[in-house]
Homo-oligomer: A and B are copies of this chain.
């Protein structure tokens, strides 16, 4: 089976590597408008054949992946559908889905969105195992062919990903809530903190965590914001309304309501992380450590050797800093107990708040 990959960055390169390494009898034909990326893909073993046009890569292809920025996808999709064989399934990997799904009624197209890789970019970071265990949303249109959908589904499963079907609008609204809105909020927080001019405030660890994605890659994110504008605007306005409501609680000085609001948030975050994990109840461990370099590594290493998976980690008050308190989130009662035991063996006190 011939697989065409159009666009050989981190995601396209990883799709190509995964297709060659993890599926039987697949050859990969790749194209990228950047000759260096194309040469890198060939040299790195991501593609069997480096093609000089999308049409050349599509010749005889059974599956085609469009791995380009979301703003480029509609034109690339039209070009691809014009050139692709009649029984070739065409999919994309864009972060927003409604626009591209609405762009065609062709039965060969099934939208897709793997949840993997965002920070590092470029073919040199591509890996065959990038999608191992990763959610991979598929958004078939009403006319998408069942046979073609199933072929795509099987290949993505071979990659080690967890494909699941979702309608494009639900996908975009969900991502607006849990991914796009947090990016907007991070940008707002840094803009507001940075407005003071020359005398910038000292920022703490909660600020650093909350703004880690501020100013994420404009090449990707402007496309996400513009192609999912309505859903994101709805979420942004809902968040603005919630903020205004909370400002009202503050000005009213309603301590009981503020405490109850805060407790609800604690419970909401726990529910959300647990739902995401399928790993059992989430435990939050606070570890006090001495003020020495290498301690974070020591703790992470001990848990890694002991087979305990760290779901999330925060260094408090600050990793640059001189004072060492590590918060670890561990899923499941047994792994959490094991973590407490391993950290205890290192001689560090562990506190699990009630």
Q: Footprint of B on A, CB under 8 Å?
A: 115-122, 124-125, 127, 129-135, 174, 177-179, 181-194, 200-218, 221-222, 225-226, 229-230, 232-233, 235-244, 246-247, 250-251, 253, 255, 258-259, 261-273, 275-277, 279, 286-288, 290-291, 293-294, 296-298, 300-301, 304-305, 307, 309-317, 319-323, 325, 327, 331, 349, 351, 353
B189 touches A182 (CB 8 A): yes
24 pairs across A/B with beta carbons < 8 Å?
A125-B286, A125-B351, A129-B323, A133-B322, A174-B202, A177-B192, A189-B239, A191-B261, A201-B272, A209-B209, A212-B312, A214-B269, A215-B268, A225-B255, A229-B251, A236-B243, A237-B244, A239-B243, A240-B241, A279-B320, A293-B304, A294-B304, A297-B297, A297-B298
Min C-beta distance of A156 to chain B, whole Å: 14
Min C-beta distance of A101 to chain B, whole Å: 19
Chain B residues within 8 Å of A266, by CB: 214-216, 218
Min C-beta distance of A286 to chain B, whole Å: 4
**How many of these chains are in the complex?**
2
Interface centre among A205, A265, A288 (most CB of B within 10 A): A265
The complex places the Cα of A207 from the Cα of B181 at a distance, in Å, of 9
B118 touches A188 (CB 8 A): no
Min C-beta distance of A129 to chain B, whole Å: 5
Min C-beta distance of A293 to chain B, whole Å: 4
From B117, B182, B323, contact of A317 by CB (8 A): B117
Chain B residues within 8 Å of A193, by CB: 177-178, 268, 272
Chain B residues within 8 Å of A300, by CB: 294, 296-297, 300
From B115, B215, B323, B325, contact of A202 by CB (8 A): B115
9 nearest CB pairs, A to B: A215-B266, A133-B322, A194-B268, A187-B265, A294-B304, A297-B301, A297-B300, A200-B275, A120-B286
The complex places the Cα of A265 from the Cα of B207 at a distance, in Å, of 14
The complex places the Cα of A226 from the Cα of B346 at a distance, in Å, of 40
B191 touches A265 (CB 8 A): yes
Chain B residues within 8 Å of A177, by CB: 192-193, 201
The complex places the Cα of A204 from the Cα of B113 at a distance, in Å, of 13
Min C-beta distance of A61 to chain B, whole Å: 26
The complex places the Cα of A216 from the Cα of B255 at a distance, in Å, of 15
B191 touches A242 (CB 8 A): yes
A272-B200, A291-B132 known; A243 and B188 CB under 8 Å?
A: yes
A201-B177, A226-B253, A253-B226 known; A188 and B116 CB under 8 Å?
A: no
Chain B residues within 8 Å of A272, by CB: 190, 193-194, 200-201, 203, 207, 211
Closest chain B residue to A187, Cβ basis: B265
B262 touches A321 (CB 8 A): no
From B190, B218, B247, B296, contact of A236 by CB (8 A): B247
A129-B323, A291-B129 known; A120 and B351 CB under 8 Å?
A: yes
